[in-house]
Structure 1
Amino acid sequence: MSMSLRDTPQSVSVITRTQLDDFAVREVNDALELATGISVERVETDRTYYTARGFDIQNFQVDGIGLPLVFGNVEGSLDPAIYDRIEVVRGGTGLMSSLSDPSATINFIRKRPVRDLQASAGLSFGSWNYRRLDADLSVPFNQSGSVRGRLVAAHEDKGSYLDRYQHRKSLFYGVIEADLGASTTLAAGHNAQYNDADSPMWGALPLNDTSGNRTGYRRSTSTATDWAYWDGKKAGSFLELSHFLDNGWQARAVLSHNRTTEDSRLFYVYGTPDPTTPGSDLFSYPSEYEFENRQTLFDVIANGPFSLFGREHELMLGASRARSTSDNTSYYGQGIGTEIPALEDWDGSYPLPAFDAGIDGSRFKDRQNSIYGAVRLNASDRLMLLAGVRRTSYKSDGIAYGEDRTKNYPDRTTPYYGASYRLGETFSLYGSYTKIFRPQTEVDITGSRLDPVTGKSYEAGIKGEFFNRKLNATFALFRARQKNLAEQAGTVPITYYAASDTLSSEGYEFDVSGEAWPGLQLAAGYTFVDIDNADGRDARTFIPRRSARLAVTYRLPSMQAMKVGASIKWQDDIHRINGTASTGSRAGEDIRVRQKSYALINLMARYEFSKHLSATLNLNNLTDEKYINSLYWEQGFYGAPRNLNVALNWTY
């Protein structure tokens, strides 16, 4: 709907293309770490989860169209090169997506063709033999530019600070737009990304021994063998028809198809080191996996103004239909349970086993249909009211590890209410409410999918626009309650989950972004969140209660060709309970694994030799901080030490 950030009754952050380029962001993981309140949970080298306001982010969109039935994680290295910007809407978004979560919705906005010739290319080098080539070309196919196309391509090859790990990826994106008339546009596009990881980690490092002490491995320590790999392809196609009417109404229909395939040969290490016995007390679990997921989504939406009681308002109506199929096959390796050498001395050597100890897997087919509508009422010059509703039907058929897992869910109605009140030229008060309903793809130890998550979400706050709308600021209070949330409970023989009791999340956040001073671009935020279980005790303690983000760049007034900047990510202490100690003086006590508060500081500098040629230097983790990437699982691994990246960029 045609609402400004100030009038939108939720907290919003926008990660711009300029920010992505300034800080040499080549992964969505790094991009989302620029956003207020987002925790990036890097549980393995090639699998990542995201949380906001205490809960997992499950809602992902492209160009405002939801991608339902995703698994809540990104596998491989998702590259943002094809996107113009990334929008983050925090809080429950039951109106925007049929999967209503109190965390956030991530909306990726694709690059589109422009009417004039536009081109750019980049060449990057960095630590651990990092190499990357980028190209972006937009071309008009006729003199008026009514038919135009855009092509984006990139290739990246890099080593790692982790022992044995290497990663390569290639991506391609092409789109053509054609103006069928003065008011109608047809667009068609396709994108594909190939990930090729050698010696990836499946699972991670044991973080404690049986006496409760931290293991304290080197940052480079890996559990991967020299023969392990994790390859994947993510591809998507879309067809979009947009039409604008003379009365201000517009309609859009989008058909999209997405396919993800993975082929992997992995090595999991389980167990807990015992300092009182010889050997490592760590054991092998080799396995091969094949995975395929196909999604087909059709969405049609129309919105426009209407008059009532002498005022102009806005109405939005839409419907969507989605289908997803998922196939997963596991080939268990011989020698499961063989003890391996201590990780301090291990070089990844392990005989390649035959993967014929057993075959199992799962197949699911999910179907989801939604109709939705919303109305924005301008009740007065100051007061805006927003009300909407989404009706969703969901059905899941499947077989998991030999058992029928078919589930039929009753149709659910998700209401949404919001309001915004302008206090003057600068500030507005706002509030919103929505119900939570989200079917889950996570399974328990028997392979059965968990029941849907249900609950409620509230938000209220104040927004401001400054310096002729060049700077936007938001202060938000939020609260959410939900039950049946999937909590990771184990990894062997499959990654399985258990449904939690009622969890509540409440807190506040501050976000500011824009041009704070001529030449000074700023994006900053602070979040406090308190998560409790049904007994009022702290829950999900692996998520930081307090976190802050800052990204600032400044173009030197005395040297306009030079831009300098810094980004800072800070979070306070996190911890998790990893069972009980069985040896030593603390036997019988809880093992508390803790990551102390830390800050990561990145610096950048760009010099423009001409309007076409520039060079950028990025220095990451300036203080060489040693930290655990995530405590989302009972295992974890360390983040990258200080590293350097240099890029040469050409634009036309």
Structure 2
Amino acid sequence: MRPLFTLPTSALTLVALGIFNHALADENTLNLPSTSITSTADSDEAPQGYQAKPNATTTRLNLTAGQTPQGITSIKREQLDDFKLNSIRDVLESTPGVNVQKVETDRTYFTARGFDITNFQYDGMGMGLTGGVLVGDIDTAPYEQVDILHGANGLMTGTGNPSATVNFIRKRPTYEPEAKVSVSAGSWDKRRVDLDVSGPLTDSGNVRGRVIYANEVGNSYLDRYSREKNIFSGMLAFDLTDDDTLTVGYEDQKSDANGASWGALPLTDSNGNALHYSSTRSNIAQPWVYWDVRTTRAFAEWQHSFANDWKSTLTLTAMEHREDTDMFYIYGDKASATGYTGLASNYKGKTRELDGDLSFSGPFSLGGREHQLTFGANVARSRTHETSLYGTSSYYTPVSLEDALNGSIPKPTYSNTALADATSNYTDRQKSLYAGARFSLTDDLHLITGARMLSADSDGDNYGSRRDVRVHGKITPYAGVVYDLTPKYSLYASYTKIFNPQYYLNTQGQVLEPLEGKSYEAGIKGHLLDKRLDVSAAVFHTKQDNVATYVGFDSALGGYLYDGMSYKSSGLELEASGELAPGLQISGGYTYVYITDADNNRGRKFIPRNALTSSMTYRLPMAPKVKVGGSLKWQSKIENDDAPAANQAAYALVGLMTSYDIDPHWSTQLNLDNLTNEKYLQSVRYGQSNYGAPRNVTASVSWKF
């Protein structure tokens, strides 16, 4: 596949040579500005340790966590490195209130507050995930921080969603030279190397560059499964004037998997009885199965600072996502002579997306007080082309579950004619205008309010069914209030309407009506221990209509079919992050969520009602070069909504880490995951699941300057 554009090798060499030349030069020859560009929003004092300030692109109003009338979690690079959170799946598993459902080896759903997370952004830009599912992986090597804004986000994104918005904050070129190389090895022959080089390319530092590369390869605890990831990111920043900075960047993430599962282990037979597997290695994927995914992103960002502390940002991004797979799927079937039907399929897909955003933000005076305002416009377009054989009846055949587990099912010969006929082509477009403000009504009372006006349309064909969506001038309002009780504590409440165009097909082969609803949240936030520890407690209530709920498959109507259901979600979130005591960093929280359907019965039972997530590290005072830590993830029982026999009892996962700083440049680290060797299912959402990874270890060595 051709990338969107290629960064020449000479440019990479220039970046590296420029940084190392400056590192070796006498410090008196460097004419560096006194400030530095970081990936976090400007602040008087950058938080230390696990405590973080959300990036300005996450809330648009450059608010701190305490100023935001919603729950918000920020996971910084230090925590990513401490616990080897190299995948977004690892990051969100460590995020309070988020549930990760690995329905297959290379396809994942994420939920928060009972609903799917579909908004994944990069420095505040990007359309929602297609179908709400992540295909392949997102490696965290190019990112400095990940922000998770809990609840509906109709003001900051193109569509309202009551779950969460995940915002990846890119690493940026630095004014001072720095570099880091890390090499790690672990269980199942897993090996990884990370390289990150950044710094000025001119004596004045008005041109800066950064190059990031990572490669990860290894086998798996699952039979026949292996994967290689290659990640590259290159970025250049130009200070055009004292007030103008242009940043351009390119990112390429490639994941090639063999033995990948499409679907997973059936958890019930054709009669609904539970199936049990003796080994966590069990995998229904065949030796000929593969799943190759490549995602490239390019962006250009121009920031201009005005004399009155206002700032404008113009951002253009382009994305291309490609998939190439041979798949195998198995399910219980009473009509089959063996009790199971297998489906082999070939799939190829390509999506190209363009986004543009222009925003203005800054202070203004009204009533003798200073307030904050942001407004802007956003346009986005994506085009998708797919070919697939999953709807071709001739590839549905009786198979033995034992043969599938042994990897002895032969690969079929595909028909080129069938591949040509099974196609999907469609285009999605979105346009929006938005505005938001933070009014300081008194010294202690602040009102955050705003709205977004959205227009969305789609056209094209989805495997024989029309994909028509027309929404124009839909306004999503948002309002929140924060009251400072004391210098340490504040109360808050917020409200937003929910609106989200959908592209799922119903049982008549038509696109579902837009998802609509309302979301409420209230809570208290604290800034404790000399402002080194952030704590929060929140209650929330959400009502949604037209929630896409899977009901079956019909190749004649375009494949997977959904009904629009109504759900209510209520719950509690507790969270803490920062320094609890000198040298003791913590990040974690507890979530309770209860979901009911239109008949007031419990719904979406594949989401745990109770969950606890925590991470902690401690730098030993008697040996300050040594850091020790641990993580705990616990969740209550889950079960499939339609097949109660497909369930997973409550379980806990324990991890440990220790690191040693050999000198200012060299360090070594050891991570141990699933200490108790817990056997557990990764998801019961669709009545199929692989088992989670058993006990495993990773050792690493790093060098930096």
Could you tell me which of 95, 103, 122 is aligned with 1:35?
Answer: 95
Specify the code of the residue in structure 2 equivalent to 1:441: Y
Partner residue in 1 for 2:490: 428
- Counterpart CA distance in 2 for 1:649 and 1:379 is 50
Q: Residues 290-349 of structure 1: CA distance to partner in whole angstroms, max 9, x if unpaired?
A: 101111000011111111111101111110011111111113578523222333884212
CA drift of 1:448 comes to: 3.4
Which of 334, 343, 349 is equivalent to 2:402? 343
1:263 corresponds to which residue? 324
Q: Does 1:233 align with 2:294?
A: yes
3-state SS in 2 of match to 1:610: coil
Partner Cα distance (1:446, 1:355) in 2 = 29
Q: Work out whether residues 73 and 148 of structure 2, in 8 Å CA contact, stay in contact via their aligned partners in 1.
A: yes
Aligned to 2:437: 375
Give the TM-score normalised by the residue count of structure 1: 0.95
How many positions carry a matched residue from both structures?
638
| Secondary structure at 1:454 match in 2 | strand
SS in 2 for 1:484: strand
- SS in structure 2 of the partner of residue 128 of structure 1: helix
Q: In the alignment, which of 275, 285, 301 is matched to residue 359 of structure 2?
A: 301
Distance 1:272 1:426 in 2: 60
Partner of 1:604: 657
The answer as to whether partners of 2:494 and 2:521 remain within 8 angstroms in 1 is yes
Q: Assess if the C-alpha contact under 8 Å between 1:400 and 1:447 holds in 2.
A: no
By how many angstroms is 1:84 displaced? Answer: 0.1
The alpha carbon displacement at 1:81 in A equals 0.6
Residue 583 of structure 1 corresponds to none
**Counterpart for residue 609 of structure 2:** 545
How far is 1:451 from its partner? 1.6
Question: Cα deviation per residue 1:420-444 (whole Å; 9 max; x = unaligned)?
Answer: 0000111000011000000123233
User: Could you tell me which amino acid in structure 2 is paired with residue 115 of structure 1?
Assistant: Y
From the two aligned structures, give the one with the greater helix fraction. Answer: 2
C-alpha distance in structure 2 between counterparts of 1:122 and 1:531, whole Å? 43
- Asked if 1:640 corresponds to 2:687, the answer is no
Q: Equivalent residue for 2:472?
A: 410
For 1:588, the equivalent position in structure 2 comes to none
The question of 1:319 aligning with 2:380 is answered no
**Alpha-carbon deviation of 1:648?**
0.8
Q: Aligned equivalents of 2:339 and 2:152: distance in 1? A: 44
Aligned counterparts of 2:489 and 2:88: Cα–Cα separation in 1: 32
- 1:616 is matched with 669
Query: Is 1:334–1:354's contact at 8 Å kept on the other side of the alignment?
Result: no
1:16 CA displacement: 1.0
**Aligned partners of 1:40 and 1:48 also within 8 Å:** yes
Deviations 1:451-509 (A, max 9, x none): 21000011000000012221101100100001111112335747624233321001111
- Work out the CA distance in 1 between the residues paired with 2:378 and 2:80: 32
Which residues in structure 2 correspond to 1:48-63 (within 5 Å)? 48-63=108-123
Equivalent in the alignment of 2:8: none
Q: Distance in 1 between matches of 2:380 and 2:444?
A: 39
- Offset of 1:578 from its aligned partner? 3.8
CA contact (8 A) 1:568 1:599 kept: yes
Residues 1:242 and 2:242 are matched in the alignment: no
Contact 1:486 1:499 in 2 (8 A): yes
- Look up the equivalent residue of 2:637 and give its one-letter code: D
Structure 2 letter corresponding to 1:339: P
Contact 1:488–1:495 (Cα < 8 Å) also in 2 = no
Percent identity, aligned pairs only? Answer: 42
| Aligned CA distance change for structure 1 residues 635 and 313 (closer, same or farther; 3 Å) | same
Q: Distance in 2 between matches of 1:202 and 1:445?
A: 23
Determine the C-alpha separation between the residues in 1 that align with 2:465 and 2:411.
Answer: 31
SS at match of 1:9: coil
* Higher normalized strand content (fraction of residues): 1
Rounded to whole Å, the distance in 1 between the matches of 2:438 and 2:234 is: 36
Q: Distance in 1 between matches of 2:109 and 2:464?
A: 28
Partner of residue 9, structure 1: 69
Deviates more, 1:237-246 or 1:346-355: 346-355
Measure, in 2, the Cα distance between the counterparts of 1:403 and 1:98. 26
Query: Counterparts of 1:171 and 1:445 in 2: how far apart (Å)?
Result: 40
d(CA) in 2 for partners of 1:403, 1:491? 14
C-alpha deviation, 1:143, in angstroms: 1.2
1:284 aligns with 2:342: yes
Indicate if the aligned counterparts of 2:659 and 2:669 stay in contact, CA closer than 8 A: yes
Separation in 2, partners of 1:301, 1:210? 55
Structure 2 unpaired stretches of 5+ = 1-60
Q: Aligned equivalents of 2:508 and 2:382: distance in 1?
A: 22
Contact 2:432 2:453 in 1 (8 A): yes
Q: What letter corresponds to residue 388 of structure 2 in structure 1?
A: S
1:78 deviates by 1.4
C-alpha distance in structure 1 between counterparts of 2:210 and 2:597, whole Å: 49
Structure 1 counterpart of 2:114, which letter?
G
Matched residue, 1:503 = 567
How much has 1:26 moved relative to structure 2?
Answer: 1.6
Structure 2 equivalent of residue 85 of structure 1? 145
Q: CA deviation at 1:69?
A: 6.0
> In structure 2, what is the Cα distance between the partners aligned to 1:113 and 1:28?
22
Read off the aligned partner of 2:266 and give its amino acid letter: P
Whole-angstrom CA distance in 2 between matches of 1:328 and 1:420? 47
CA distance in 1, matches of 2:89, 2:559: 22
Q: Out of 96, 100, 105, which is 2:156 matched to? A: 96
* 1:297 maps to amino acid: D
Give how far 1:67 is off: 2.9
Q: Contact 1:286/1:334 (CA < 8 Å) preserved in 2?
A: no
Say which of 115, 139, 159 aligns to 2:219: 159
Distance 1:403 1:280, change over 3 A: closer
Residue 83 of structure 1 and its aligned partner are, at CA, apart by 0.4
Please give the TM-score of this superposition, normalised by the length of structure 2: 0.88
- Partners of 1:596 and 1:272 lie apart in 2 by 26
Match of 2:175 among 81, 105, 115: 115
Give the 3 Å change call, closer, same or farther, for CA 84–273 of structure 1 in structure 2: farther
Deviation of 1:377 (Å):
0.7
Contact kept, 8 Å, 2:285 with 2:405, in 1: the verdict is no
| Larger CA deviation: 67-76 vs 100-109 | 67-76
- The CA deviation at 1:404 is 2.7
1:561 aligns to what?
A: 625
Mapping for residues 366-515 of structure 1, pairs under 5 Å: 366-444=428-506, 447-490=509-552, 493=555, 496-515=560-579
SS across alignment from 1:241? strand
Does the aligned pair in 1 maintain the 2:287–2:407 contact within 8 Å? Answer: yes
Decide whether the 8 Å contact of 1:207 with 1:635 is kept in 2: yes
DSSP-derived class of the 1:338 partner? strand
Give how far 1:387 is off: 1.1
**Corresponding position: 1:529 with 2:582:** no
Q: Any conservation in 2 of the 1:335–1:353 contact (CA below 8 Å)?
A: no
- Secondary structure of the 1:221 match is coil
Confirm or deny: 8 A CA contact 1:284 1:335 kept in the other structure: no
Amino acid at match of 1:424: T
Residues 314, 376 of structure 1: 8 Å contact kept: yes
- Is 1:145 equivalent to 2:205 in the alignment? yes
